[in-house]
Amino acid sequence: MSPSDLPGREDPPINLDDYATRARAILQADQYDYFAGGSEDEVTLRGNRAAFEQIWLRPRVLVDVSACDTTTTVLGLPLRFPVMVAPMSVHGMAHPVAEAGTAAAARDAGSLIVASTLSNLPLEAIASAADRRCWFQLYIYTDRAATERLVRRAEVAGYRALVLTVDTPLLGTRERDLRHRFQLPAHLRFGNFLDEATGGQLGGPRAPLTWSDLAWLRTLTTLPIVLKGILTAEDARLAVEHGAAGIVVSNHGGRQLDGALPSIRALPAIADAVARRCEIYLDGGVRRGTDVLKAVALGARAVLVGRPLLWGLAVTGEAGARDVLRLLESELRLAMRLAGLPYIAAIDRAAVVVDPTWTAS
């Protein structure tokens, strides 16, 4: 009798959706919906996944795929495969190990974590767990001094880039949270804003941003600045003009403007507009190795994956988060070999078929 035949033993998850199903059974309903939900009717949330199904692969045959090289770099940092951990708040609601588990999983996978401003653990602990394989996601607050302190702390802790979120002048209406009257569990805190003297929370409201704020941020730091939340060719061009080192094509996981373009749908026009003048990454809806391949073919240097890491964390802690990344890497390797693409640089737009209107800029 094998271990999987023993009474009460579940077979291990074989894909990311399996982790989502098991996490839903573990987490409280309001907590699951906080992570899983989008804004309003969740059209964009669903569209992020559906759009990948509108992209078809064009496999080449009789290519030597006895070996497969998935390595790449992001802002000069080597990655074992083109997947990073997206910034997400309050990992501690998924598992007590919180962001330390996710960061360690990214480190062990040869990936990196983009640590959220709204993490449960302080940014220094996350950087340590990640072995400095980390970028810091930044919100700019009306209290500019508080924002500057975050930037300085990220520099000292060894973060390699700042990822400025630009798509949240206001928060989208997340109706699942309203129905649950969601509140952060009482035992959790935002680790980057703790008043060590009182144990209370510090911080302030986020400031609506303009392009001039990017110029101000550049006066504070020499770290590369990546803009997260770009969905149009027009804004991509402006990002390059304002000195962005990278762009994350993103609709905030469908949590902001409902009806906004699916990220992968917006990618080709942005890649054409940028014309390799800065690095391009994509988040939103990546759940399979074939999704990673499609995103790279359409112009992304790497993708960011969010919710599945939380599902893995909820199911088995750090081990689950690590397994989510392992599954994606394994699926990507198989997809590349079946497509006749034995290394990342071989993946280009000829590898896919998309609706021609997707490239309209």
Torsion angles phi and psi, residue 230, rounded to 5 = -85, 130
Q: Is 187 a catalytic residue?
A: no
Element (H, E) at 281: strand 279-283
What's the CA gap between 339 and 336, in Å, rounded?
5
User: Of the residues 91, 180, 242, 252, which is catalytic?
Assistant: 252
What's the CA gap between 116 and 92, in Å, rounded?
12
What's the CA gap between 324 and 135, in Å, rounded?
20
Q: What is the DSSP string of 98-162?
A: HHHHHHHHHHHTT--EEE-TT-SS-HHHHHHHTTT-EEEEEPPBSSHHHHHHHHHHHHHHT---E
- Cα within 13 Å of Cα(65), Cβ side: 19
Of 272, 279, 331, 328, residue with least CA distance to 300: 279
Of 236, 243, 241, residue with least CA distance to 280: 236
Q: What is the DSSP string of 29-50?
A: HHHHHHHH--STT-HHHHHHHH
Of 124, 120, 126, 84, residue with least CA distance to 104: 126
How far is Cα of residue 240 from the mean position of the Cα atoms in its chain?
21
Active site residues: 252
